Amino acid sequence: MEKLKRAVKEIAYARDQAKLSGFHRSLGPFLSFASSLYGVVLSLRRSLYCSGFFSRHRLPVPVISVGNLTWGGNGKTPMVEFIAKCLADYGISPLILTRGYAGGDEAKMLQRHLLGGPVKVGVGANRMATANLFFEKYGYVDCRGSNLFERTYLDQKVGSHISLEKIGAAILDDGMQHWSLCRDLEIVMINGLMLWGNCKLLPLGPLREPLTALKRADVAVVHHADLVLEQKLKDIELVIQEIKSLPVFYTRMAPSCFFEVRNINTKMHLGAVHNAVVLCVSAIGSSDAFVQGMEKMGPIYVDRFDFSDHHSFQTKDIHMMRERLGQLEDKFGYKPIVIVTEKDYDRDPQILKHLHPFQVLVLCSEMQIIARKGCNEHHFKLLLKELLEVKLSGAD
C-alpha cells in the first residue's frame, strides 16, 4: 500500500509524464477512470447542496473555515492553531472542529499545544453534532448582526453574565470540502513547494476540487513561501488573481526547539544538530519542507525516510530505520540523530522509543506570516477581524 501511495503521488507531480516507469504508466487508465468518476460525484454533490436537496447547517457563532484544494502539506492545522490564538488574544473563546483523520495526529497536536487555554478542540466527522455537544457543555455567545469583537470586549469589561468559557467562534479544520456546514470566512491554504501538480482531480492528480473553487475563498495563503523562489511566488499569485481577486498572504514554519521522545519536558536548542549526522523520518504531506528546514540547521549530513501522510509507524518500519541508522553509524563513525515532526510524535508517542539507543528528537515549529509586499502578521489579523465584522454585520 505504501508503494502504491508513493507511485500515485509521483504520477500527480511528475514534470514529464513520458519519463514515468512502466509500473506508473500501468496505473494510468485506472487512475484516469477513478478521477473522472470522482469528478462526477463531486459535481453531483455540489449541485445537491446548492439546490437545497442536502441541508446546510449554520452554527450560532461565526465559522472560519481553513481548507485546501490539494492533499496534505498545505499548513491547514498550523493556520487553525494560529487563528485560534489570535481569537483568544481578542478575548474570544474559539472551538476548533476537526475530524480527527487517520488516528487524529493533528487533533492530538492541537490539544497538546492549546492545553490550559480558552481554546477548545472538538474531534469528530460530524462537525455539527460535535459543535452542539460543546455548545451544550460551555454555552455560546451569539453575536450575529453585531460586532463580535466589541461585544466580547464589553462583556469582559462590565463583567456580564457571559463567561469566558462560552464559545464565541468556530474554526473548521480542513473545511473547504465540508459543504454541510455554513461558514462566514473561507481561508484556502496553498503549498508553495508542491502546487497543483498535473492539475488533475484525485487520484490521477492532487486536486480535491478544480482550481475554480478558489472563487469561494475570501483569503489565500501560500505556505512554505520561504522555500520558494520569488518568481514562483509571483506565478502563484498570478494564477490566483486570474481566478479571483483575493488578498494573498505568505507563511513559513519557523523551528523553535527540539524535545526528546523519551522525555517531552526536555527542551533542546536548535544547535543540537549542528555538525551531526541526521536521519529525518516523517509521514507528513510535505516532507521536502521538513528536510530542507533541517538542512539549514547545520548538520554535516542529512538522510531521510519518507512515508505517506498520516502513516502509522509499524515494527517493520522501526527495523528499516534501525538498519539505515546502523549504515550511517558505520559510514561516519558515530551515532546519527533521528529527527521527526510533532505530527509524527503525536500519532504514536511510544513506538519511536524503540529506536533506543539512538537519540530521537522532535522538531517543534510554529507558523509565521512572512512580511511581503507591505503585508505582515498585523495586516493578516486586521483583515481577519475586518472580514468577520463585515460578514456578521450582514448576517440574518
User: Can you give the pLDDT at residue 2?
Assistant: 76
The set of cell numbers assigned to 42 is 463531486
Q: Does residue 154 register a pLDDT over 90? A: no
Place of cell 472580514: 387
Q: Does residue 219 register a pLDDT over 90? A: yes
Longest dimension (CA), the chain: 71
Confidence class for position 136, pLDDT limits 50, 70, 90: very high
With CA atoms as reference, report the closest residue to 151 among 136, 166, 137: 166
User: Can you give the pLDDT at residue 146?
Assistant: 58
Confidence class for position 149, pLDDT limits 50, 70, 90: low
Angstrom CA distances, 217 to 75, 129, 147, stand at: 16, 25, 22
Q: Does residue 182 sit in helix, strand or coil? A: coil
Confidence class for position 104, pLDDT limits 50, 70, 90: confident
Peptide bond into 357 cis (omega under 30): yes
Q: How far apart are CA 173 and CA 227, in angstroms?
A: 24
User: Can you give the pLDDT at residue 369?
Assistant: 97
Confidence class for position 143, pLDDT limits 50, 70, 90: low
Task: Give kind and range of the element (H or E) at residue 251.
Answer: strand 248-260
Q: Which DSSP string corresponds to 141-155?
A: ---TTS-HHHHHHHH
With CA atoms as reference, report the closest residue to 343 among 2, 3, 113: 113
With CA atoms as reference, report the closest residue to 364 among 221, 266, 224, 278: 266
Angle between helices 377-393 and 76-89 (to 10 degrees): 80
pLDDT tens for each residue of 328-349: 999 999 999 999 999 999 999 9
Contact 256/364 with Cβ under 8 angstroms? yes
Continuous H helices in 173-314: 230-243, 287-295
Show Cβ contacts of residue 239 under 8 Å, excluding neighbours closer than 6 positions: 211
Q: Does residue 157 register a pLDDT over 50? A: no
pLDDT tens for each residue of 234-268: 999 999 999 999 999 999 999 999 999 999 998 99
Percent of the chain with pLDDT over 90: 77
AA identity, residue 355: L
User: Can you give the pLDDT at residue 159?
Assistant: 45
Q: Does residue 150 register a pLDDT over 70? A: no
pTM over 0.85: yes
Region 114-128: what's the mean pLDDT? Answer: 94
Q: Tell me what the pLDDT averaged over the chain comes to.
A: 91
pLDDT tens for each residue of 23-75: 888 998 999 999 999 999 999 999 999 999 999 999 999 999 999 999 878 99
